[in-house]
Amino acid sequence: MNTRLFLEINDLARATPWLHAPLADYAKYGVLLFAALLLAGWWIARQRGVGLPAAVWAPFGMLLAVAVNQPIVSAVHERRPYTALPGIVVLADRSTDPSFPSDHATMAGAVAAGLLLVSWRLGLLAVAAAAVMGFARIYIGAHYPSDVLAGFALGAAVTLVGYLLARRPIALGLDQLDRTRLRPLLRPGSAAAADQAAPARP
Q: Which fold has domain 2-15+22-188?
A: Vanadium-containing Chloroperoxidase; domain 1 (1.20.144)
* Confidence (pTM): 0.84
Do residues 55 and 163 make contact, with C-beta atoms less than 8 angstroms apart?
A: no
pLDDT per residue over 119-169, tens digit each? 999 999 999 999 999 999 999 999 999 999 999 999 999 999 999 998 888
CB-CB contact of 179 with 198 (8 Å): yes
d(CA 182, CA 194): 8
Q: Which residue has the higher pLDDT, 111 or 94?
A: 111
| Residue 168 CA, distance from chain mean position | 22
- Distance (Å, whole) CA 124 – CA 127: 5
Distance CA 157, CA 125 (A): 19
